[in-house]
């Protein structure tokens, strides 16, 4: 692949006129605060053409911002930004977001496999706009959007946003609103809510765990970016085995896929048997926090599962599933009491490479966005946006009942061993 993507100059998109809209400042909640300089990127891959895709989406986005006007504002930080006062907030000033229309002579099929070749990786990384230094500054737009049209007629929507203004579920809600307005609805079907004073305060142990995970030494280029598909048959086999062994208890697709990845990774990197290994998965707490319907700010916590590497690598996969289920069952308590699943001393002693962070986009709504030409054929992260320490993003349907995952789970030296372990489940 030579010339990859031709991009137009960025244009500013602001809310379309909406009489009576209130402009104010919004204090970031304790769920938001640790994320206000952290970017997130999502790529939505659409196989079928949409007439004038970039202009259609840009126009609908402007109308959606009349309802989601805080996203057209800017983050303001007073002092260090880490205290309990009004030190980090969104100034709703309608400065707008950045939008880029782009074209490529490549066909979408060249992207869909997301193989390990440098050319495919370069194409994937060109499909979104990124913040300088991969960090969000106070004067930066809260949302960067790019629509890339392919020679075959398909297109990719690349969305990069400041995580402090919305989590994945919130951004999925915004994109569905844009799609509804592009389709002719006069207003979004879900009324957006950005301020929810009833949200509980997070216990110190949850905040300390978040700060620790964000401070891990980045491994960066040492990690191999792998596009993984776990077939439906493999997932069903794990789920059936778990259910038959634990008196009919159900096992979700997420639990099965996560257990397989954690076990295969641990077996591939072969740490000492007594070495602790930490699994971190992000959980949407809207239900447990009684968030208002339509709330699109952050409402996620990191849930931790720690075990000796020998228990994960050599134990049965159904026991790994059970460890994950126990952690999920403890989620409501993370908001009610200051008792961490893993102690702070244990966290401090962990190496970055012994930590695996996983985000599932399975129920965030990205895969239901339809601008008029059908839902996405694939939703994924970009290679640039993967965590600097071992992690995975995905667990979305691949169209055949399996799940797709983009990951940087292991170092280059362990990539073949990991894929060989994964093949044993296929």
Q: Which of 412, 426, 418 is nearest to 262 (CA)?
A: 418
Pairing between strand 391-397 and 355-360?
parallel
Separation of alpha carbons 333 and 346, rounded Å: 20
Reply yes or no on whether 48 is catalytic. no
Instruction: Count the residues in the chain.
Output: 426
Q: Which of 164, 137, 168, 143 is nearest to 28 (CA)?
A: 164
Strand partners, 284: 300
Separation of alpha carbons 3 and 244, rounded Å: 54
Are 245 and 276 in contact by the 8 Å Cβ rule? The answer is: no
Question: Residue 399's Cα: distance from chain center in Å?
Answer: 20
Are 399 and 365 in contact by the 8 Å Cβ rule? The answer is: no
Reply yes or no on whether 163 is catalytic. yes
Strand partners, 25: 91
Which residue is catalytic, options 67, 106, 163, 414?
163
Separation of alpha carbons 219 and 414, rounded Å: 14
Which residue is catalytic, options 94, 241, 370, 398?
370
Separation of alpha carbons 140 and 117, rounded Å: 33
Q: In the numeric block, which tokens belong to residue 5?
A: 């993507």
Separation of alpha carbons 314 and 37, rounded Å: 39
Q: According to DSSP H, which parts of 144-203 are helical?
A: 168-182
Active-site amino acid positions: 163, 370
């Amino acid at each position: 692949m030579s010339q990859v993507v031709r991009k137009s100059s960025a244009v500013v998109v602001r809310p379309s006129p909406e009489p009576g809209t209130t402009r104010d400042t919004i204090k970031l909640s304790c769920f938001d605060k640790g994320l206000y300089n952290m970017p997130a990127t999502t790529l939505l891959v659409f196989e079928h053409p949409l007439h004038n895709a970039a202009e259609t989406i840009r126009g609908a986005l402007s109308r959606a911002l009349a309802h989601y006007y805080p996203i057209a504002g800017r983050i303001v930080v007073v002092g260090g930004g880490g205290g309990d006062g009004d030190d980090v907030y969104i100034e709703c000033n309608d400065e707008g977001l950045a939008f880029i229309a782009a074209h490529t002579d490549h066909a979408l099929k060249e992207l869909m496999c997301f193989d390990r070749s440098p050319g495919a990786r370069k194409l994937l990384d060109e499909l979104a706009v990124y913040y300088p230094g991969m960090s969000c500054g106070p004067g930066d737009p809260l949302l960067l959007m790019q629509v890339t049209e392919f020679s075959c007629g398909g297109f990719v929507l690349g969305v990069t946003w400041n995580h402090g203004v919305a989590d994945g579920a919130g951004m999925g809600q915004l994109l569905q609103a844009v799609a509804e307005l592009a389709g002719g609805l006069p207003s979004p079907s879900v009324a957006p809510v950005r301020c929810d004073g009833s949200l509980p305060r997070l216990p110190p142990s949850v905040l300390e765990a978040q700060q620790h995970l964000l401070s891990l030494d980045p491994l960066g280029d040492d990690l191999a970016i792998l596009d993984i598909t776990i077939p439906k048959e493999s997932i069903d086999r794990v789920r059936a085995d778990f259910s038959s062994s634990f008196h009919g208890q159900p096992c979700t697709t997420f639990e099965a896929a996560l257990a397989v990845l954690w076990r295969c990774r641990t077996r591939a990197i072969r740490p000492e048997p007594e070495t602790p290994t930490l699994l971190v998965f992000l959980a949407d707490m809207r239900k447990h926090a009684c968030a208002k319907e339509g709330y699109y700010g952050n409402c996620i916590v990191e849930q931790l599962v720690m075990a000796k590497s020998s228990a994960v690598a050599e134990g049965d996969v159904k026991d790994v599933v059970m460890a994950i289920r126990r952690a999920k069952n403890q989620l409501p308590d993370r908001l009610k009491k200051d008792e961490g699943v893993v102690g702070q001393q244990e966290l401090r002693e962990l190496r970055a490479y012994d930590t695996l962070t996983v985000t599932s986009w399975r129920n965030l709504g990205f895969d239901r966005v339809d601008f008029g030409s059908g839902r996405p054929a694939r939703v994924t992260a970009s290679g640039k946006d993967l965590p600097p320490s071992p992690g995975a993003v995905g667990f979305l349907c691949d169209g055949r009942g399996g799940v797709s995952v983009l990951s940087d789970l292991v170092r280059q030296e362990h990539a073949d061993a990991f894929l060989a372990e994964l093949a044993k489940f296929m």
